[in-house]
Structure formats: structure tokens, C-alpha cells
Structure 1
Amino acid sequence: MTTPLAISDQLDLSNCDREPIHLLGQIQHFGYLVAVSMDWIVQHVSANIEELFGRQPDDMLGCPLAEILPDGSLHLIRGKLQLIAPNEGCERVFSIDFFGDGRYFDIAVHISNTSIVIELERSESNAASNGNPGMLLKAMVARIQRCDFTTAVFRECVRQLRAVTGFDRVMLYRFAESGSGAVVAESLNRNLEPFLGLNYPATDIPRQARQLYLRNRIRIIADVDSQNIDIVPQTDPSGAPLDLSLSVTRAVSPIHVEYLKNMGVHASLSISVVIDDKLWGLFALHNYTPRLLSMEMRSTMELFGEMASLIIEGRLGKETRRVEEEARDLNDRVVAKLISTSPTMAELIDFAEDFRELIPCDGFAVWAKDVVRTVGQCPFPDDMPGLARFLNRAASSRVYATDELSSVYPKAAEFVDRAAGLLAIPISRAPRDYLLFFRKEIVETVTWAGRPDEKPVEFGPNGPRLTPRKSFEAWQETVRGKCRPWSPARLKAAEALRVSILEVLLRFNEETERQQKLASQHQELLIAELNHRVRNILSLMRALVVQSRASAESVDDFSTIIGGRIQALARAHDQITDDNYKAQSLRAIMQTEIEAYIGPKASRVHLDGPVILVEAKAFSTLALVFHEMVTNSAKYGALSDSRGNVRVSWRIDDNENCEILWRESDGPPVKPPSRRGFGSTIIERSIPHDLGGEVSVEYHLTGLKARFVLPSQVFQLKSELEANIEETDYVHKGYKGQDVLLQSRLAGKTGLILEDNMIISLDAEQMLLEKGAKDVITAMSVSEAKRIVDRHTIDIALLDVNLGNETSFSLVPALEAKAIPYVFVTGYGEKLELPDHVDPRTEAVKKPFATEQLVAALDRALARREG
């Protein structure tokens, strides 16, 4: 007979990972649910729906939602749908008299595949029950921002959450790469046992739960003893259950309920901490009696979680940058020594102390030409050939690191007392040579919240399964065979060292090979530049914001400045990557890079020369070169201070070539670069290699001087008249393809948008501008719109019918008096009835609307009025 112990040995811990927790077909007891199709036919309801509608579930299924909801509520839902995308996010509204009978509800709306899901929770009154959520959130965040250190931020976050929500215990739980986690901060009632410092296995929060925490950032469990409410019917006609991934009232997995009961917890609230689009951790709130926070309070706490995530990310990033800056300084010193001595691979052992300072370790070795040289505590020489063969399989021209070598290379168990962890940097292609950093074993004691493997076996209709453990008493485990982990900062330092060493070795020892593979290197050059730009785009955005702040005199001024610079940056990237452009102005190429990257300093760059149009084959090359020239000047040259100037002039020389002279003056003293970087390679080699031209760069103390020569076949010399046409076309077209959009009747028109929802108004404004409108003015009320019509020349108007306490129909006479065509947008669908004074031909576009649908209606309105 098989004993339960024997069965548990055969079972794994993945039954939780396989549980479809988003397809349970139930909601919690405090909620109500109605799911409708995209044409507003009821598909699913919760079994308790009769409490709200007074109709049995079967009587509601298959009915149009418009038959059972007031018009105002249906309009509200349609408006919220305009703000969300399918399967992404949820819109909420609080304390609404949803049925028009004095009963107030909190409402949540989201799109699940092909269904619109509406969830309701009772609200005590039509007044906000939690005071001013914005002020509450502001006060919480202000206290957190005053914390200087990451650990202090953690502690203040949990303290604020417990004070605001009233839960008995609040923990910050941080995930490890393995999926396990640890409690890094805690605030609790005095009579509770602390969990701070305890570790939890990955199976406590299974994979699919972690994925849901990314999509749905907050999760409430009000009462583990309550009876869940079924969804009726359980499946749609095709047999698929309703996906409740984004539901705010989704029922709880029975396995998780059992887990909470074993802990003695009756209610919980989880708030995701997301950093760099990954689930970094959770705020776990536990209560030992049932507890339900209102939807408004939960939404406020969700926003707090997002703000806390940004603050934590900033603190962690600041600490990482400090370590990386120290490593970069060390790397620069090591590389300077390498350049000055030009060592062979075998001679790199002479730099062991420098390398070990950069990447702390207990032993260092150089494996080159099948020979090993060691310093410090390393495996014996006889162990090295096998280790090198392992690395040849494991590392493909990349840094390889492990803190438990014996787990991936079993033979390492024989020398675990000398080297438990390894970081390997490949420094050649074939045969593979390596710099090897070893760390010794550190015996560590890990404290778990109960034994991770102590899970009882339960027999059910589907056979035996492992149930959540019942004991959470601290249990200690001794971990052997591992070293101190290699931090992300050290891994970056290792990658930087790999690149630097390859640069040095390639420069001094592989010159012949580089010349033979010049074409391949050119392709790698362009790929590296693209990769470089993608990696740094967020940093560039942040820099633009910071640099623009000083010159802005108001919020609107700041918005205009930063918007213009980001637009210029986008044009620059389009110019570099687009293959279908025609010849463009040389001046425009330079001006684009100047405006995009140095902003207010653009007036200190003087351009002078005849009108020259550069052919397409040379356009991307010149854009790259002048991008590097501008950014280098802004970082190190004449544009790096407040006095310097740059003068760029060009002329046609005696050989019919275009000679471009770059002169910097009045800036800081110039020093020649101590090492050749990637930017220097682009400046000095791109034009000769790609275009057959010439380049010379001189580093004078008074300022950099550069000379570029373009052969005659890559440019055209234009007359002033032709040039004005070409450059005007370049300025007005902007992005590729916009000339097609200008065919819309909206081109050059001024539009008025009357809409009381700011987000929808901004969305519509962007649509009109993208389709060529010259200007768009927005208003939130009829009175404001009338003032705009009186004071401005309006060509077309877009009117939301329902503006809360009024309709836009009263604006029609003012529009008709000035012969301004107009189109309505509405959340009422086909039920919209136009007053007698409104032209019956006037179109009404339903919410949510698409760009093409809206613009087509506006075009038709303009055509009718012009006719």
C-alpha cells in the first residue's frame, strides 16, 4: 500500500501553478456582475443580480442592456469605455445613483476579450466616504519622499498603509529571481508575531498569480468564510468561461483560501509593486477579522502602490548608479593602463589586482591559448580544461555568472571548498579565452516561514494533491555550495570590461582581421548605434525634461518647449531609419539634430552655405555624423558651457566637391580624447567608407576643428527658388506619410471640441490635429463654447451631446448663425433624438469612436456646408 508520505515524494508543488484562478466562474459576496457583448446584449450575470434589478438571471440573459438600465447609466458606461483598451485596465466611478432610485453604487468597467464586464458594489451615500482621496494620497507620498534610504522608504510605506486602511498587519514582500520572496518591511498590531525577515517559497504565490498581479495591481479578499457568488451561465455558447483577470470582485482560489485560513487570516489586500514592467514585490495587508475597503479607497491605495513603485525604483536606481559610477571610474583606469601597455592575452594576469578591485573576488585566473595563470584562491590547474569546455558551451561571447557552479557543472563539487561561484568574461572569439573570477563558498542560514516542503497530501476526486502547509513557524535551513551573489552592477562592470578589453586587443593585435571584415563591421556599427539609441531613449527623455525646465516661465510654456523638442527628436529618428525619402536639405539635416539635442543653445550654432540637397544614400550617414558632432560639442566642446559658439560653413570647391568646415570657439579648453570611442569611429570613418569622401578632425586648445568633403555624386546644388520650395515642403510635411493625411478636408481648419471629459477631449483633439487641422480649441461647457465661437473663427465643431447637467443642443443656434458645420458624439447610440432646430442631416458618432469614423463624419459635414 502506498503511504501518504510516499505519495508526497512523487508529487510536485506545481498544482497551484496550474490552477486557472482567472476562470473560477465566481465573484465575492459583496459584488454584482453583468457582462454584455459588444452590441450590448447581456451574456452573463452574477447569481445575486435579482437583488439589484428585481429580475431573475434567466430573465436578463439575452436582453439588450438598454432595456434594463437608465439612459444616463448606459451613457456613463459608454463614456468610460472610450478610455480603455480591450484586456487592458479598468475604469471606475464612485457613489453613483446607478438606477435613479436613490441607491448608490461604485462601478467598475473593463473589456474581457469580446465582453464588456460591469461590476457593482454598494456605496453608503452619494458623498465620498473617505474625504479627499487626492489629499490623502498626497500626504502619504510626501512622507515617503522625505525618507533618504531605501529601507526607510520600505518602513514608511507599510506604516502609512496600516494607518490609512486599518489592517492588522501590513508587509512589504520582495520577490527574488527564483520566485521566492522575503518580508523586507512590516507594520503590525503589538499582539501579533512579527514576520519581518522571513522567507516564503515561490509556490506560495504561483506563477499565474504573479502574472495577474501585473495586470490587476490591487486584489481584495474581504472574508475567507463568505460564500462566493456564481456567474450565470458558467460558459458562453462556445464553451469558454468568462475571463475575470481584470475583475475587482473576482472570487478567491480555494487553495489560497485554505492557505489564508491556515495562517488565521480572514481578510487580505494585495497591492502590486511593479518596477521596470516586472513584479518586484507586493504590499500584503492581513486582517484577522473580515474587512472590506470601499472601491474608492482601494483605487486610492492602488494609485499609492504605483507612486510607491516609482519612489522605490528611484531609490534603487540611485544606489545602483552610485555603484556603477564607481565601477566606471575603475574601468576607465584599468582600460587606460591596458592602452598604454598593449598587453597580449597571456599578459593580462599582470593586471589581476586591478581586475579584482573592479570585480571583487577571492581568486582570479586568465585562460588563454589553453594555458591558465592564477592569482588567489582558484581551482587547481588540472580542473581548468574541463571548466573551459563547459564555458565554451554555456557562454557565447557573453559574460557568464553563477553563484552555485556545482548546480550547473557537477564536477565543480570536487573543488567547492576553493571556488563555489564563477564569473567568466570571454576575451576572444576562437579559440575562446577567458578572464575567470572565483568566489569561495559562504555557508548561509535562511529563515523560512514554515518548512517549504512540509505540505500535507489530500485525496480528492482527481487523486492526491499537495495542500497549503499548516505551519508558519520560523524554520531555518543551512545553504551550502553557494557564494555571495554577483550583483547587477558587477555584471554590468564585467560587460563593460569585456567590451573595453576587446577594443584594446582588436586595436593592437587584430588589425589585419578587422580590415578583411570591414563590411561586416560596418553593419555591426549601424546595429550598435540603433541599439545604443533604443537603450538610451528614456534617459534622453528625462534629460530633455530637466534641461527644458530652466527656460520655461509657466506650465504651458514648459509643455510647448518639451513637446517641440520631443517632436524634433522623433523627426531625427525618422530621417535616420526611413528608406523611402527623397533628397533633403543639408541645412535641414544639421538643423534637425541641433534643435533636437541642444534646445536653447541652438542659436549659438551658425550655419552658412549655399543650398545643397543631399541624396538619399548619403542622408542617414550625414545624420549620424552630425548627431555625434552636436552631442559631443554639447558634452565636451564649445556648447558645454554658456559662452562657446559653433560655426558650420560649406562651399563647392574647385573639384566640384562640397567642403564642410566645423569650427568651435570660445568654449572650454579642448583636450584630445584619451581613448577612441564609438562616436569617434562614426565621425572619422563613416563618410570615407560610405560616401568615398574625406574627414579630418583636429583638437586645438581653442576649439575643435573638423573638415568633411562630400563627393559630387551624393548631393545637388539648387537655386534659391528651388531651395525655398524644397525646404518649405520639408518643414510642412514632418513625418513620412503626413502628406497623405493632408488630403482630408480638415487640413488647415480650426476645430472646436465641446466635451466635458478631459481625456476624451484630448483624444479627439489629437485625432483632428493628426488629420491636418490647423488648430483645435476645447471647451467643457456650452457657455464657454459660445464665447469661443464669438471670439474665434471656427471651421468645424465636434459636440458631445450630454455634458452632465446640460446638453450641447443649445449651442447649435450660435453655430448655425455663423454657418459652422458640426457633428455630435454620443454615448446613447441609436436612441439619440435630435431637437427640431437641429439639421436632421447632422451625424451622431457613437462612443467609443475610431479615428477614421470620426474624421469621415467631419469631412462629410464640411462637404455639405461647402456644397
Structure 2
Amino acid sequence: MNKFSVDLTNCDKEPIHIPGKIQSHGFLIAINKIDFTITYISENTSDYVSTPAKNLLNQPISVLSNHFSHEPDFNIENLLKLGVIRKSFDAISPYPIAINEKPFYLIINTSVNDWLLEFEPVSLQYDIQSLVGRSASAMLQGKSVSALLKGAATEVKKLIGYDRIMIYKFLDDGHGEVVAEEREDHLEPFFGLHYPATDIPKQARELYKLSLTRLIADVNTDDSPIITFNETTALDLTNGSLRAVSPIHIQYLKNMGVYSSFSISLIANGELWGLIACHNYSSKFIDYKAREGAKLIGEILSSALEYRQEEENSETVELFNNTANVLSEHLNRDKYLIEALTNYDKTLLNVTHGTGVAIVFENELKTIGEVPDDESIWDLVAWLKDNSDESIYYTHRLSEIFHPAKKYKDIASGILACSLSKDPVEIMIWFKPEQISTVNWAGNPDKPVTAFVDGLASLSPRKSFETWSEVVNNTSEKWMPEEITSVLRIREIIVAHINKKANEIRLLNEKLQSAYEELDTFSYTISHDLRTPLTSIKTYAELMLKNKTLDDKGKNMLDRIINSANKMNFLIKEILNLARVGRSEIVFETVNMQSLLAEVSAEVWSAFKADNAELILGQLVDLKGDKTMIAQVFTNLISNAVKYSSMVKSPKIEVSAVIDGGETIYAIKDNGMGIDNRYYDRVFELFKRMENVKDIEGTGVGLAIVKRIVERHNGRVWFESKLHVGSTFYVAFKNK
């Protein structure tokens, strides 16, 4: 690495838990946990005892008693053993002792291999419990989070008397914002200012979680070094109150004009939420009990923060839950999903605090509120399909990730997308607009690198704290956890509804299939059984017709019986054909359409005696399917073309095929009488015949047979027609 390559991560690497020094307003002695000997001692201990500090190293703990108290029952070793038995020194610290006839507190904490004995002067004498109780009661009067924070700043200022008290909240990226403040009138306000994450580096934030208070009594006093006979191992002061402060931080405070600082950690849900940061513009020492009282205020505030925040969040959650319940009712009541979610007072839009929502379902796009245009939404859907494998995706800076979104950032700088199905793509997307904001920093957040004369580079803390404004754009308000939870819940409801409907359709299809099979069997049985008595009727009528004694009237009646029997026989034959289509197995093969159509057309021309009709065969493409069934399709369609064009002077029937994508589409076109558009929806129904063809013989079964055969081949059938001009019927078969 280049020797000038110094960046802000250097702050994060500073070993602030083992500074090798303590603040000089107190002194420190470390006792080995095993043999109770003095292993570390601060140099300034000599100021309080009658012997040089280094002479106490490696001495037994008992030597301390003579130096610190004239009380015969004072025994530090017994205090340590009592703490070990209780597994805590909380009930012992602070232990009052006298040093040179002045009151001191002994505070005991643990280190890795040692006990830390820290000695601090007693500076305040008041009823701390009573004061903390009143302060906590006053602070908790705030019903909202903001009011609670303001009250906390006020009460802490009353308790410790610092010039400025700030509530400092850590944001997602580690930088902080002053969200409440109480100060002396002559001081400029810091409320609303932002401080970069590097002002309180990562390892400092970790220590704030372990040690809930931190005092710097005077930035202008020299720290006292810790001496030891064990030079290879530094003393871990993580739990110590007197731990010296990073020189960078001391210079930072000096640059701000601060002489003394005190901080109280705010922990919410196990994480460092923020700090109560206290500044004084002259040196100020507050003793252990005052700090503990302030810490108690911080702990009460931390609990209240969790409660108040959960209370505010629960109102949002309840609102979203009510929306989900209403939409669930709409889904249970309505026939169509999109209408259920979008056509009422409560809609998908109310599932989040977004200002617009789009839903893509069954290849249909529906939007509510402020959303991008349809083309942009479809592009966004395609991008989400390719770039997100999760069921939910959200961002508050879409245009920085998906660049085409820049053109509609004012509507959709933030999106929350929830997938219902990957293939086909079915998705819901909520939108939030761009929220242009100005962030006021306490000085330029970029720390400068200072190069020294020897060519080395080092970090220097910021010197300017004049307000430095930064305009933030291309971002929306962030998506709340409650919004994401709400979207996941509505997804569950919708997916459950889709699965329920799919199951209902499956059961209905099974019932329809069963009824269809029963009807087929019934039709086949009845039609087959009717043919025997019908044949008898026709035979006896023909025999009677041969009786020479019959007059013309009798012969006419018998002719009518025979004609009716023939018509009925033809109808039964058609019904049998229809039933057979449903019962027969399809045998797929390649059908030579050139040959098949030659046979079909010859048969039709012979049956209808259509010598004057012209047949034009265009391109003929072979089909994949059941040869017998396909022959029946073209027989019925060509027969209809011949039959319904027989009234025109020059009947013309054209048959041709085209390949379109994965289908082969045949067209059978005639120039006959055409179909009235009033009857378009009845063309393929069983036994339905048009008013204008009543004089032409037919049963109304042929086209129903065509439709069933084509659908059994997974194909399609449709038509185009114009009255007195002609009709074109299309059948499409899949190529594979």
C-alpha cells in the first residue's frame, strides 16, 4: 500500500479498548484473579500513596489496605472474594473509602485475567435515587417518541448540569442525527444536524453497547500511563470507567470547543439505538453515583423507546391488518381477483404507505394511484423477473439500480415488489415518489488526510463544524418493516385464494368430466337402441307402400313416414358420431392431406350432386392427428360449404393451409349465404341452426362434432362470416 494511502477505516482499526493509559482524575490498580497480586498500576497512583507506583507491582493485594483507609476491617481481598461468590460486583460498587482523609469511590470491574480497581473522588452529595425517580416520571410524560426524547434531554440536563444535552440517533448506515436537544440559551442549536459514521467509529459503537456510560472530564489534562512488569500483554479496559480516550477523539472535541463530555448509551431491542451525548464548555467531573443515575435514566429511556416505538408501529400494523382482512373478504365474495383487490374503497394501495400500486395477473395490468406508464411498468416487471429470485424485493433508490427508472423517479424512486408467480409472471408492485431532502451535516463529512514532514500520512479529525448542506435526490422514503410484513401477509391471502379457486376448478372439472362421460354413454346407448325400432318402422312402411290397394292419400302418408324415419336415422347417426368422438382413443399419425381431401371432396360432390360447384385447393400441409377424426372434420366443413353455397349461381369452395408459428391453420371458404351476426355465439352449439337455413337439410350436430374433435387434438376452431357474402371456417392443429 502507498504510504499516503490513509482512509477513514483507520479510525475503525484503532485499539481503543487497550489504550495503555487512564484519565488522570482517578487512578487504577489491576489485581491478578489467581494469586491476588498487583499486575498493572497507573503511574498517578503515586499521588495518592506514600510509595512510588512501580514499587507496588507484583505485591500482594493486602499492601493496599494500609494506604487507603485507617479502618481496621477494610479488606479489598474480601471484597473481591465476595464479588466472585455473588458473580457480580454491582452490589459492591461503588465502595466508599477514604484516601488522605478525602472521600473516594472504589469501583470494581473485570478484565480478561484481572480485576480492575478504579478509584475516583466523590464530587456530588445528593439523594440520587429521589432525583432519578422524579426525572424518570417527568420524562415518561411524553406520549410520542419525539416528546419522550425531548423530555429525556431536559431531565438529564437537570441531573448533571452539562451545557448541552443531545439525543443522538444512529441511522442505518452508521451516521448519526441529533433528534432532540436541551442547551444553554447562548449556544447555537445542533438539533437536526447529521454527523458522519466516522465520528463514532465501529469499534467505539461496540464499546458503547458493553459500557453504557463514558466520561471525559477534561480534554486538556494529560492521561496517566499504566505500568506493568508484563510488557507483552496490554490491559483490556473495555469495562473500565477511567479508560483513556483516543487522541483523535480528544482532538475532535477540542476542535468543537468542548472541554468535557459524557455519553449514555441507548439500547433498543439489543442494538445500539443512539446516545445521550452531553457536552460542557469547561472541564466538569461527575462522580460514579451521578453517572449511574444518568445511566438509569438512559435505561428507562431505552425501555420506553422500545415501548413507544412498538406502540406507534402497532397502530400501523393494525391499519394494514384491517386492510388485509377487508381484501380477504372481497376475494371470498368476488368472482374476479383483480376486481376484488382494486374496485373498492380499500384496495391494494392501502397495504403500504405507497402512493401507487400495479398488479400483473393473468397477463393483465391494473394500476391504482400515481404510477409510471404501462410500458415502463412492463419493462420493470421484465427486469424484476431477470434480476430477483426472491418473492419480495424492495429499494428506496430504484433509479440508481435500474437506470431506465430515472425518467419516472418523481413517481417511483422506491418500489416494493412481491411475486405471486414466476411463470407466468404475476406480480404486485408498490411505488413511492422521490423525496428530495437537504441533509445538514455538522461540517463536511469527509475527514481530510494530513501529510506530515516525515512523509507519513495520518488522519486528522474534522476542524470545521459549520453547517454543510447536502441535497439528497433519486431516493424515496424508506420502506418500513411493517409495510414489508403487510405485503407478505396479503401475498399469503392471495396465494391461498388462488389455490382455493384452483382446487374448486379441479373438483368442478372432475365432476364435469364424469357427467360428460355419463352423457356420452347415455347418448351412445339411446342412439344405438333407437335404431332398431326405427328400422322396423321404415321397413313396415315400405312393405305397406307396396300394397296396390292403397289410395294416393295413404301412399302420401307412408312416404312421409319413410322420409321422417330417414331424417331421424341421419340424426341418430350424427349423435352416434358425436358420442364416438368423446369415447374413441386418438391415434396420432401423419395425415396426407392431399390424399384425404381428394377422397373427402369426391364423396361430398357425389352426395350433394354438386357438379356445378368449383373446388379450389391451395397449399395443403400434412397434419398430425387421428386420420378418421380429421376426415370427419373436413367432411363436415366441406359439406356445409357446398350445402350453404348451393343457392348461388356459381358456388365456389376454397381449401388452403398456412403454417403460423407452432400451428398449421386450414381455411375452408365458401361464397354462400353466410351467417347472421346475431347467431355467431350459437354456431358450434349442439342442435342449433340459423333461421336463414331452415329450408336446407341439416341436424345442427356437424359443427359441434368439428369443435369436439379439434379440441381433443388441442387445436382451435373459429370462423368469419358475412351475410349473403360467404363464410370462412378455420381449424388450427399443433405441429408437434
TM norm structure 2: 0.62
User: What is the percent sequence identity of the aligned residues?
Assistant: 29
Q: Name the residue aligned to 1:41.
A: 37
Q: Is residue 2:350 matched to residue 1:354?
A: no
1:35-75 Cα deviation digits (max 9, x unpaired): 22221232211111223343334322223323444762221
Q: Match for 1:360: what amino acid?
A: H
1:118-137 Cα deviation digits (max 9, x unpaired): 2111236xxxx432221111
Q: Partners of 1:439 and 1:469 in 2: how far apart?
A: 36
Q: Is residue 2:81 matched to residue 1:72?
A: no
**CA 261–347 in structure 1, closer or farther in 2 if over 3 Å, else same:** same
Q: Partners of 1:353 and 1:109 in 2: how far apart?
A: 61
Number of equivalenced pairs: 498
Please state whether the residue corresponding to 2:471 is helix, strand or coil.
strand
Q: Name the residue aligned to 2:436.
A: 443
Q: Name the residue aligned to 2:116.
A: 117
Q: Name the residue aligned to 1:639.
A: none
Q: Partners of 1:290 and 1:271 in 2: how far apart?
A: 18
Q: Partners of 2:362 and 2:172 in 1: how far apart?
A: 36
Alignment partner for residue 488 of structure 2, among 495, 501, 504?
A: 495
Contact 2:442-2:465 within 8 A present in 1 as well:
yes
Q: Name the residue aligned to 1:300.
A: 293
Q: Name the residue aligned to 2:671.
A: none
1:305-330 Cα deviation digits (max 9, x unpaired): 10121122222221111121122111
Q: Alpha-carbon deviation of 1:179?
A: 1.3
Contact 2:349-2:368 within 8 A present in 1 as well:
no
Q: Name the residue aligned to 1:790.
A: none
Q: Alpha-carbon deviation of 1:441?
A: 1.3
Q: Partners of 1:82 and 1:377 in 2: how far apart?
A: 66
Contact 1:107-1:119 within 8 A present in 2 as well:
yes
Task: Spell out the pairing of 1:718-867 with structure 2 (5 A cutoff).
Answer: none
**CA 75–431 in structure 1, closer or farther in 2 if over 3 Å, else same:** farther
Please state whether the residue corresponding to 2:371 is helix, strand or coil.
coil
Q: Match for 2:318: what amino acid?
A: E
Q: Name the residue aligned to 1:509.
A: 502
1:78-116 Cα deviation digits (max 9, x unpaired): 22344446xxx96662352267x7453212222222222
Q: Name the residue aligned to 2:474.
A: 481
Q: Is residue 2:22 matched to residue 1:19?
A: no
Q: Partners of 2:296 and 2:268 in 1: how far apart?
A: 14
Q: Partners of 2:31 and 2:336 in 1: how far apart?
A: 72
Contact 1:170-1:284 within 8 A present in 2 as well:
yes
Q: Partners of 1:194 and 1:265 in 2: how far apart?
A: 15
**CA 286–113 in structure 1, closer or farther in 2 if over 3 Å, else same:** same
Please state whether the residue corresponding to 2:48 is helix, strand or coil.
helix
Task: Spell out the pairing of 1:88-127 with structure 2 (5 A cutoff).
Answer: 93-94=93-94, 96-97=96-97, 102-123=101-122
Q: Name the residue aligned to 2:276.
A: 283
Task: Spell out the pairing of 1:237-636 with structure 2 (5 A cutoff).
Answer: 239-341=232-334, 343=336, 354-368=347-361, 372-384=365-377, 387-388=380-381, 391-392=384-385, 396-428=389-421, 433-453=426-446, 455=448, 457-459=450-452, 463-509=456-502
1:126-177 Cα deviation digits (max 9, x unpaired): xxx4322211111111111223333222222111111221111111111211
Please state whether the residue corresponding to 1:15 is helix, strand or coil.
helix
Please state whether the residue corresponding to 1:281 is helix, strand or coil.
strand
Please state whether the residue corresponding to 1:119 is helix, strand or coil.
strand
Q: Partners of 1:372 and 1:463 in 2: how far apart?
A: 62
Q: Partners of 2:376 and 2:233 in 1: how far apart?
A: 57
Stretch moving more, 185-194 or 346-355: 346-355
Q: Partners of 2:198 and 2:252 in 1: how far apart?
A: 11
Q: Partners of 2:367 and 2:345 in 1: how far apart?
A: 9
Please state whether the residue corresponding to 1:265 is helix, strand or coil.
coil
Contact 1:349-1:366 within 8 A present in 2 as well:
no
Please state whether the residue corresponding to 2:9 is helix, strand or coil.
coil
Q: Partners of 1:390 and 1:82 in 2: how far apart?
A: 63
Gaps of 5+ in 1: 514-867
Please state whether the residue corresponding to 1:121 is helix, strand or coil.
strand
Please state whether the residue corresponding to 1:427 is helix, strand or coil.
strand
Contact 1:106-1:296 within 8 A present in 2 as well:
no
Q: How large is the Cα RMSD of the aligned pairs?
A: 3.1
Q: Partners of 1:461 and 1:93 in 2: how far apart?
A: 48
Q: Alpha-carbon deviation of 1:442?
A: 2.0
Please state whether the residue corresponding to 2:324 is helix, strand or coil.
helix
**CA 358–219 in structure 1, closer or farther in 2 if over 3 Å, else same:** same
Q: Is residue 2:211 matched to residue 1:216?
A: yes
Q: Name the residue aligned to 1:618.
A: none
Please state whether the residue corresponding to 2:155 is helix, strand or coil.
helix
Q: Match for 2:463: what amino acid?
A: K
Q: Partners of 1:11 and 1:345 in 2: how far apart?
A: 57
**Runs of 4+ residues over 6 Å off in structure 1:** 510-513
Q: Alpha-carbon deviation of 1:380?
A: 4.5
Q: Is residue 2:55 matched to residue 1:59?
A: yes
Q: Alpha-carbon deviation of 1:447?
A: 1.6
Q: Partners of 1:371 and 1:467 in 2: how far apart?
A: 59
Q: Partners of 2:384 and 2:142 in 1: how far apart?
A: 44
Q: Match for 2:433: what amino acid?
A: K
Q: Alpha-carbon deviation of 1:267?
A: 0.2
Q: Alpha-carbon deviation of 1:370?
A: 6.8
Q: Partners of 1:375 and 1:345 in 2: how far apart?
A: 11
Q: Partners of 2:463 and 2:216 in 1: how far apart?
A: 20
**CA 368–157 in structure 1, closer or farther in 2 if over 3 Å, else same:** same
**CA 367–26 in structure 1, closer or farther in 2 if over 3 Å, else same:** farther
**CA 368–308 in structure 1, closer or farther in 2 if over 3 Å, else same:** same
Q: Alpha-carbon deviation of 1:464?
A: 2.1
TM norm structure 1: 0.53
Q: Name the residue aligned to 1:138.
A: 133
